[in-house]
Structure 1
Amino acid sequence: MSDHAWFITAMVIYLIAMLLIGLYGYKQTDQYEDYMLGGRQLHPFVAALSAGASDMSGWLLMGLPAAIFVSGFSKLWVAIGLLIGAALNWWFTAPRLRTYTEVANNSITLPTFLEHRLEDRKHVLRVVAGLVILVFFTFYVASGMVAGGRYFESTFGASYLWGMIIIAGVTVVYTFIGGFLAVSYTDAVQGTIMFFALLMVPIMAFITVGDSSSLFDWQLHNGYGNDQLAANPDWFSLFSGVSAITVISGLAWGLGYFGQPHIIVRFMALRKPSDAKQGLAYGVSWMALSMVGAVFVAIMAPGFFAMDPSISIVDQVNFETIFLDMGRILFHPLIAGLVLTAVLAAIMSTISSQLLVVSSALVEDMYKGLFNKKASDNLLKLLSRIAVVLVAVMAFFIARNPDSAVLKLVEFAWAGFGSAFGPVVIASLYWRRLNVPGAVAGVLAGALVAFVWGGLPTLGVWVTEKPFGLYEMVPGVLASIVAMVVVSLATKPPAPHVVEMFDEVQEISKTMKGHPEADLRATKESVEAHHAQPTS
């Protein structure tokens, strides 16, 4: 069999497995809430790997190794910021959000939660949040399609366009039929594949190359990347030649976690708030080890390709195929095909999660919330599936430019969500004075500043540079915090019963923390009964 035949065999096995998981999810999905949130019965291991896989996406296997390959360890500040942000998100956001979303009228999406938390009877917050999700997730889904096109170019020498079509098509199908459970289970499988692939490739590179010592310092003394990149003596330095702006911008990626709807929806779906502790352990361990693998791919790639003139990197513009190319060269074609499915896994896990969140924004937050509150479960599931297809089509048109860089699309969308929702989500969980005008101002200010500062993307082409080279997350988050606090304090405080619910949730959270196995519903009823007792 030819190499391509082996690759296709491995890919077909993988894609069939994903579709079967989608079918399983379909059989487990009876109610609309099951389609959107899995009945709040997600195991913390599945939640952690699902959140990690949908978060890291093609960026972990393509964008991050390429960025380090080109610029060195100065790009590690992004990974450091993400690791810190993920840990803090699981620690501070997950348990309280799991509690509050059930107490606040069993909210199953982020915009719905914000509306119920603040009692926005005019639905302004729901609409604004839904529109922000629609705009930024369309760019985010596009990044996955770009990675899919690159995958097919590198692996099969196939058309970029056909690569996008195949990846998007299969992902849409299993998301369409299986909903949240299908997405979560496939993400967990995909996260496992990514984890082992990222560890196997650098280990095999070290074993295979005769002069393995040169794998670790080639870029310090020699040009590489077909001599497009000059030798860089400071390649391994986190600080040398690195400005404060670079450090701040890299670490700022961690701020994005608190506002990513496709990640925090996993917190809402946990079985109970105390599961967040296990989720933290699983998720951060997976993420740290996977990042170590991605870093070693970038370290070894310059010498690996430069020492053998018979091999080359397919992507000579952004160098985003180095992981793919190394896997293809190092292993038997069938094993290589299975390793290369890690990129498929990363791409598809992210696209599926994001399609589902955008679908929920359109159907749950807009159609049901504004136009048809009594819509049947069957109608809502049908509309959600239609929305999945429509958003995929829009993202496809953005991603059809083959020169779109995965990392640029991801960093733009990541900053948009982190700036728009991060401060508001944290404030909704920990600040009792937050009100509707303040939350709306925070979401709008963060989204607009991130969008403009990020360079006004037009079909994947950035027409301006970032001012001062500063990542748009920083001014976006600052603008959101200032707008949210100033407007909240300048307008009427929230209604007394809104504050009362906030205080009850704090009490429930404290009780659940001291008694992790306690039933949330029973604890809620106990706290409410205590508050209802007349004072003497």
Structure 2
Amino acid sequence: MDADQIFKLIAIIIYFAAMIAIGLWANLRTKDLSDYMLGGRGLPPFVAALSAGASDMSGWLMLGLPGALYVTGLADAWIAIGLTVGAWLNWKFVAPRLRTYTEVAQNSITIPSFFDNRLKDRSRMLRVVSGLLILTFFTFYVSSGMVSGGVFFENSFGSSYRAGMLIVAGVTVLYTFFGGFLGASYTDMMQGLLMMTALLLVPILGIFAVGGPAGMVESVTSVNPNALSLIAGTTVVGVVSALGWGLGYFGQPHIIVRFMALRSAADATAGRRIGIGWMALSMIGAIFTGLIGLAYFTQHPELTLADPEAVFLAMTQILFHPLVAGFVLAAVLAAIMSTVSSQLVVCSSALVEDLANMILKRDISPRNQVWLGRLGVLVVALIAGALAWTQNDTILALVAFAWAGFGAAFGPAVLLSLFWRRYTAAGALAGMIAGAIVVFTWQYTPWSSLYEIIPGFIANLVIGITVSLVTPAPDVDEEFSQAQQLAKAGRF
């Protein structure tokens, strides 16, 4: 191993040690399942906003999105636009209501338990199906994070893909195992700051390396004349599909669980401003990283980039001293690990709170519940690792499928639960199943060029409303009004 590699490795080890230390600190503050799964509902808006953003973006922000821009140009920036709009709407309308209603509805600490309590589902099928959907789609999502980890170490240190995957998975599981939700949230906050800093530094220095804005434009357009156009090379279906990513926010359990953990509904306003500011800066940095990377490799034909999704990694190592590069590269690990840790906690909660407690049908001590949660983290990590063992898809493709699954299955259910008192358990169950089925089967239809989240979301919405109108309304008037008033008191 040469000196450059040693410098980078030192930075990565320091980063790993800091994440594990935060996880162990969080373990000292974890006494029961509510602490392990929701941090005792005491999350400050700054922590909630950055942890929601970091757990949302994952490796695709620093690997998948710059890679897509590198290949196609600004045509793929529609995804970033759709996501930013969706995130703003989610913070504005969902966050305050979900914070109050989950507490009013028997202090629900998971999304499935909220559906169960909010809709008065006596059959408990809604909770079981929700828990199973979480486990199914998050297994694919966690798998995409492990693929990102393998790609990272393969491109940054020349290690094997599998060795890199195992290192990232092992460290993430370790601090999530002990720290739970609180550990994941505070590590996500630190990782979010690291990600944004890296995504700003790379394009700022990179623009000088390619001869300024004029040099970038000339080089990029010489290889792809349409690279700087949002319209050229796109189709209406393509733009609608990209914007449709924004629909996914309403149903992502690992993101909206941060809303449930806020100290109060009033904190949603500050959270929105911080979160969207962070997101806008990070997205702009990722977009320019892809374009500047294309310009740089066009100007230096002696260099090759085998994998477009590694353009951020390559530019980092070109622009920075190895030690600084190591900390910038750690931002990629931050993006990967922040998402994986949050998803593991939600999977754990689905296994313990929504499935195990119902199956065992007996009281479990708070300490044993926490250990069951930790066991859930290990089980999901092992299955996801098995799926990621052989890299057989792009990071963006894996994320797109899981994102669509959650958006279509849970998005309409969350919105209707919060804003329509007539919504029923039967409508929610039928809509969720319909949305999930559409996502799984849409690729086999003649219209598969349209992103599956859109037809899945619509199917869930239409069926959920229709079935609710023909089934008895739940007795929730008092709870619904109370949650509504509390949300408004928080300046909703």
TM-score (norm. length: structure 1): 0.89
Alignment of 1:283-294 (within 5 A): 283-294=275-286
**C-alpha distance in 1, partners of 2:491/2:50?**
23
**C-alpha distance in 1, partners of 2:488/2:275?**
24
**C-alpha distance in 1, partners of 2:218/2:383?**
44
Paired position in structure 2 for 1:311: 303
Alignment of 1:497-508 (within 5 A): 498-508=476-486
Alignment of 1:41-440 (within 5 A): 41-210=42-211, 213-222=214-223, 232-315=224-307, 319-440=308-429
SS in 2 for 1:469: coil
CA deviation after TM superposition for structure 1 residue 401, in Å: 2.2
Report if the CA contact (8 A) 1:466-1:472 is conserved.
no
Q: State which structure, 1 or 2, has the greater radius of gyration over its C-alpha atoms.
A: 1
Report if the CA contact (8 A) 1:314-1:325 is conserved.
no
Task: State the identity as a percent.
Answer: 53
Residue identity matched to 2:264: K
Report if the CA contact (8 A) 2:210-2:295 is conserved.
no
Paired position in structure 2 for 1:486: 466
Summarize deviations over 1:455-507 as a string: whole Å, max 9, x none.
Answer: 4xxxxxxxx68734100011000100011011111112223xx2232122223
**C-alpha distance in 2, partners of 1:305/1:446?**
42
Aligned residues: 491
Summarize deviations over 1:78-115 as a string: whole Å, max 9, x none.
Answer: 11000000000000000010000111100000000110
Summarize deviations over 1:53-94 as a string: whole Å, max 9, x none.
Answer: 000010100111111111111111111000000000000000
**C-alpha distance in 1, partners of 2:149/2:21?**
21
- RMSD between aligned residues: 1.4
Which range moved further: 30-39 or 159-168? 30-39
CA deviation after TM superposition for structure 1 residue 213, in Å: 3.1
Report if the CA contact (8 A) 1:126-1:365 is conserved.
yes
Summarize deviations over 1:389-447 as a string: whole Å, max 9, x none.
Answer: 11011111111222420000000000000000000101000001001100101111111
Residue identity matched to 1:46: V
SS in 2 for 1:375: coil
Residue identity matched to 2:461: I
**C-alpha distance in 2, partners of 1:285/1:277?**
12
Report if the CA contact (8 A) 1:154-1:314 is conserved.
no
CA deviation after TM superposition for structure 1 residue 308, in Å: 1.9
**C-alpha distance in 2, partners of 1:468/1:492?**
36
Distance 1:322 1:262, change over 3 A: same
**C-alpha distance in 1, partners of 2:212/2:304?**
18
Residue identity matched to 1:348: M
**C-alpha distance in 2, partners of 1:93/1:44?**
15
Residue identity matched to 1:80: I
**C-alpha distance in 2, partners of 1:384/1:510?**
34
CA deviation after TM superposition for structure 1 residue 214, in Å: 2.5
Summarize deviations over 1:255-282 as a string: whole Å, max 9, x none.
Answer: 0000000000000000010000000000
**C-alpha distance in 1, partners of 2:347/2:372?**
12
Report if the CA contact (8 A) 1:74-1:239 is conserved.
yes
Paired position in structure 2 for 1:470: 450
Report if the CA contact (8 A) 1:146-1:399 is conserved.
yes
**C-alpha distance in 1, partners of 2:482/2:214?**
61
**C-alpha distance in 2, partners of 1:84/1:244?**
18
Paired position in structure 2 for 1:513: 491
SS in 2 for 1:356: helix
Residue identity matched to 2:294: P
Higher helix share: 2
Distance 1:512 1:403, change over 3 A: closer
SS in 1 for 2:427: helix
**C-alpha distance in 2, partners of 1:491/1:402?**
46
| Unpaired runs of at least 5, structure 2 | none
Report if the CA contact (8 A) 2:347-2:380 is conserved.
yes
Report if the CA contact (8 A) 1:81-1:254 is conserved.
yes
Distance 1:4 1:173, change over 3 A: same
The higher-RCO structure (CA 8 Å, 6+ apart) is: 2
**C-alpha distance in 2, partners of 1:431/1:438?**
12
Distance 1:401 1:378, change over 3 A: same
**C-alpha distance in 1, partners of 2:265/2:51?**
17
Paired position in structure 2 for 1:526: none
**Residue from 420, 426, 431 that aligns with 1:442:** 431
CA deviation after TM superposition for structure 1 residue 374, in Å: 1.5
CA deviation after TM superposition for structure 1 residue 371, in Å: 2.5
Summarize deviations over 1:187-220 as a string: whole Å, max 9, x none.
Answer: 0000000000000011111223457632223232
SS in 1 for 2:339: helix
Report if the CA contact (8 A) 2:219-2:299 is conserved.
no
TM-score (norm. length: structure 2): 0.97
Distance 1:138 1:179, change over 3 A: same
